[in-house]
Structure 1
């Protein structure tokens, strides 16, 4: 359960679109949910995949834009040049908010309550490092569950960091960051993906959209928990269209979709061409070797639309197969 009523702590503007549970707490982006209830201790791997593909915050589910992303660090030593974590990154204002309402982040005596880590005590000092980019996201086999893969995020370009023992130590920082909070740039296609993703009844539609945007090409992606319903050829086939299809083909697919997220992912891919999040860029680059490029239509002219032994239309009097064997330019 959460530590304090949501009304006791200022809510960042970027979190106001989130639905709330029966107690009034915002349901953060990374946790599993349904209309029957929310388990704040259950992190969803399929939702982490969406966050990685579209480069969204694990708390508010909004884009990072040009803001640093914060990652919790469970080590007191110097930060490496590249930090890898099994947790998805968050905005600074979202991290500071969570530190005041989440019991595990709030109190140094808190213990985790999920089945896999039950009894784990929070580190006395909580440390959050800021990075300029998430350079890669990979599915790795879990040390706790052999055969099950979980996502790990690699960050580069350290910006700064902050740490605390109790929330009192960061309240001034939170007030300052909250006062300077900026509205995040969200295009119409991205907004059409964020809206269903934040609903309590989101049944995986946006996960499917992330897969066809390119996440389906990530190695071992379908070995992750929650991805079982997405196995098969359909998402890979559509991902191939989003990777190598023409703009007309992509728009035609999106316009014909009855699913809100699938209808938005094509326009999102088209507007982001050349500027995809780094993790998605890597997945799509891997997909280049997995997707067969469609054969071009035969050009008009002899050797193609004209029988090979027919007179060449160029007027030479020779047979088409000897005169213009590769076709005649229109």
Structure 2
């Protein structure tokens, strides 16, 4: 957690919470920030990438385990799940209650279950059952391979110690390092959300209906995402190099270095975009009914009228 910004009290500010330079709201999850986590495949606690490891999620324990689990919260590293169990008041105490307006008074289950999944297979927008008309992002996890549970965090302290001892730093490329640094700031990180949209998230179904993403609607994010999807390497790099936005300067190189290795959610969004984006074709032939009036001189230079000389036009 050393890379995380701390609030005025010295607490690390985890990846998903709403924040501003003046205030951090640990009780509120930002959908804009969840979009960046999904797009770049980052942990919902520490905001760093996943390697080839299980993705952990708090679950309601059912037997047998379902083939897929849908959650409104992003996946986390195992060490981050164990950390959260010891520092989050709701996860720590069996007597804790939620205090937000929608779920006020909800008491934590006596036993908390975390499950580890092999993959996050998709991220989709769903209308909230609690707030009609409000869309939130949901993460689909598949391949449950491990789990742990506890009543009190004391029961998992030894597991936390063991996992922490095995932790290693994951190499991060320069473009992704820029995005992580910007995402970790105490402002809302809107420009990183914009970078996620142009990398391909703009193609996700109902994405601009998601809570907090209204301001991004109608600002040409799908157009730039089309460039990132079907543009040449030179076009992508030129866009990034010409941008005065630091996140947009990093997103072109990130897209190019990730080509063929995009996170699962991004792969799905970009695949959907393939049918939505058309690259401009060659210019129409010069001739009557094209770019030259039928009685104008033919562009071939013959001096005859276009309709007499080359009525079908001249290919460029």
TM over 0.5: yes
- Name the TM-score, length of structure 1 as normaliser: 0.86
Give, in whole Å, the separation in 2 of the partners of 1:225 and 1:87. Answer: 14
Match of 2:44 among 54, 58, 64: 58
2:101 equivalent among 88, 97, 115: 115
Displacement of 1:78 after TM fit? 2.2
What's 2:238 paired with? 252
Q: Equivalent residue of 1:72, what SS? A: strand
> Could you report, residue by residue, the CA deviation over 1:111-130 in whole angstroms, capped at 9, with x for unpaired residues?
11111111000011111111
Structure 2 residue 29 is matched with structure 1 residue 43: yes
SS of structure 1 residue aligned to 2:147: strand
Does the aligned pair in 1 maintain the 2:94–2:109 contact within 8 Å?
yes
Question: 2:95·2:107 contact (CA, 8 Å) conserved in 1?
Answer: yes
Closer, same or farther: CA 96–218 of 1 in aligned 2, 3 Å: same
Please point out which of 81, 88, 100 is paired with 1:102. Answer: 88
Q: Distance in 2 between matches of 1:62 and 1:149?
A: 25
Match of 1:194 in 2: 180
3-state DSSP of counterpart to 1:253: helix
Q: Does the CA-based 8 Å contact 1:74-1:123 persist in structure 2?
A: no
> RMSD value over aligned CA atoms?
2.3
The Cα shift of 1:67 comes to 1.7
Which range moved further: 48-57 or 199-208? 199-208
How far has the Cα of 1:162 moved from its partner?
A: 0.8
Moved >6 Å (runs of 4+): 307-311, 319-322
Indicate yes or no: 2:199 matched with 1:213.
yes
Find the aligned partners of 1:296 and 1:166 in 2 and give their Cα distance. 67
What residue in structure 1 maps to residue 155 of structure 2? Answer: 169
Q: Is contact 1:34-1:202 (8 Å) kept?
A: yes
Aligned to 2:229: 243
Relative to the length of structure 2, the TM-score reads: 0.90
What is the deviation of 1:310?
A: 6.9
Superposed CA deviations along residues 228-256 of structure 1, whole A, max 9, x for unmatched, are 11010411111111111110000000001
Distance 2:311 2:176 in 1: 52
How far does the alpha carbon of each residue in 1:261-296 deviate from its partner, in whole angstroms, 9 at most, with x for none? 111011000000111001111011111111112214
1:89 corresponds to 2:106: no
Instruction: Please say if residues 308 and 321 of structure 1, whose CA atoms lie closer than 8 Å, have aligned partners that are also in contact.
Output: no
Is residue 2:8 matched to residue 1:17? Answer: no
Q: SS state of the match for residue 100, structure 2? A: coil
Q: Is the 8 A contact 1:48 1:88 kept in 2?
A: yes
8 Å Cα contact 1:142/1:149 also seen in 2? yes
Q: 1:264 aligns with which of 241, 250, 264?
A: 250
Partners in 2 of 1:107 and 1:176 — Cα distance? 23
- SS in structure 1 at match of 2:239: helix
The number of residue pairs the alignment matches comes to: 303
Which residue does 1:278 correspond to in 2? 264
Other structure's SS at 1:209 match = helix
Listed as ranges, the gaps of 5+ residues in structure 2 are 286-290, 292-297, 303-308
